Amino acid sequence: MSAVEPNVPGSAPLLRIENLKKTFSIPTTLFRKPLTLTALEDINFTVEKGETLGIVGESGCGKSTLGRCILQLISPDEGKVLWLGQDLTELKPEEMRKRRQDLQIIFQDPLASLNPRMTVGEIISDPLRTLRPDLSRTERRARIIRMMEAVGLLPEMINRYPHEFSGGQAQRIGIARALITEPKLIVCDEPVSALDVSIQAQILNLLSELKDEFGLTLVFISHDLSVVRHVSDRILVLYLGRIAELASGEMLYTDPKHPYTRALLTAVPIPDPKRARMRDVEELMGEVPSPINPPSGCHFRTRCRYAIEKCAAIIPPLEEIPGGRLVACHRWKEID
């Protein structure tokens, strides 16, 4: 079993993920057994109240699957999702429905995630239909208006339809919908990757303002380290369903330990001459291998310039190293 972050005595983390595993069965031809895709394995981490945890990795590394397991939109095969100490994987559907008020999601493609036949007011208030049926019509409308104002939409837009909005405005609608139940934690799944660069900064700034205003905790998923860096207190790097590294944003950027993190960083502008020199030699090579048939031992070994024989034979454990950070690499001490 990998290292589990130590608990601070007397303070249970808001969210604790323990030994999470998720596989998918992939159908093949009629007479052959389905293949197994391991999307997540041996995932352990915590999220503290008020924190923003960035989750980063290339497409196909399991980031969105992890976000959906946290929210119980899909069930993990093994492991626990402890919300304030309560294991969400063991809750009955009715109990989980009550918990949903605390746990919301913002999706990647804002326009595609909004029902084109519903008005903005209906979209934003939709979660309240099932989660807060006790609210009166007037209370519901007051909440919608408050959320529209909080995300920078004019209340007079309440009866408009999604196609009348730009991508950035549509994402503001998605954020208002996530906020309306007054959640404690929001999983932001690539919330700006479908937007123009100029709009991305506006949405990132909005999310960090709302985090302060509403006392939110965020899990921020992105394939882009420069986006995650902008918003995260700590960053978890995923590679082919396993944690490669977990550290504070500052440590990860100034002193990355895992070769995969170092390779991802070559794509991010950093005003550091030492790291700039590293760029040419550490650039990420090739594609992510198929998670149906990942490399033996360390999954990153086929793209790692530091790989040795041991890397093909033994999966590197996730070790706690000085600075309270976690890294899964046999050679992290030798790499600088």
Residue numbers of the site for ligand SF4 (CB under 6 A)?
A: 259, 298, 300-301, 304, 306-307, 311, 316, 329-331
Distance separating alpha carbons of residues 71 and 153, to the nearest angstrom: 27
Largest pairwise CA distance in the chain: 67
Closest CB to ligand SF4 among 211 and 299? 299
The encoded tokens of residue 15 equal 């969210």
Cβ atoms < 10 Å from Cβ of 119:
16
Distance separating alpha carbons of residues 91 and 78, to the nearest angstrom: 15
User: End-to-end CA distance of the chain, in Å?
Assistant: 27
Q: How far is the CB of 136 from ligand SF4 (least distance, A)?
A: 57
Q: How far is the CB of 315 from ligand SF4 (least distance, A)?
A: 9
The encoded tokens of residue 272 equal 């550091």
Closest CB to ligand SF4 among 69 and 318? 318
Closest CB to ligand SF4 among 152 and 295? 295
Q: How far is the CB of 154 from ligand SF4 (least distance, A)?
A: 50
Closest CB to ligand SF4 among 5 and 245? 245
Q: How far is the CB of 66 from ligand SF4 (least distance, A)?
A: 20
Cβ atoms < 10 Å from Cβ of 273:
8
Closest CB to ligand SF4 among 220 and 260? 260
Helices and strands, counts by H and E, the chain: 11, 12
Q: How far is the CB of 237 from ligand SF4 (least distance, A)?
A: 11
Q: How far is the CB of 27 from ligand SF4 (least distance, A)?
A: 32
Q: How far is the CB of 238 from ligand SF4 (least distance, A)?
A: 13
Closest CB to ligand SF4 among 231 and 244? 244
Q: How far is the CB of 273 from ligand SF4 (least distance, A)?
A: 25
What ranges in 195-238 are assigned the alpha helix state H?
A: 197-214, 225-231
Closest CB to ligand SF4 among 229 and 242? 242
Q: How far is the CB of 101 from ligand SF4 (least distance, A)?
A: 41
**132, exposed or middle or buried, with CB in 10 Å at 0-12, 13-18, 19+?**
middle
Distance separating alpha carbons of residues 76 and 66, to the nearest angstrom: 9
Helix %, strand %, coil % of the chain (to 5): 35, 20, 40
CA angle 158, 163, 165 (to 5 degrees): 60
Closest CB to ligand SF4 among 13 and 316? 316
Q: In 3D, which of 246, 236, 239 has the Cα closest to residue 323?
A: 246
Task: Show Cβ contacts of residue 255 under 8 Å, excluding neighbours closer than 6 positions.
Answer: none
CA angle 221, 227, 232 (to 5 degrees): 65
Closest CB to ligand SF4 among 201 and 321? 321
Q: Residue 290 carries which DSSP code?
A: P
The encoded tokens of residue 261 equal 């993190």
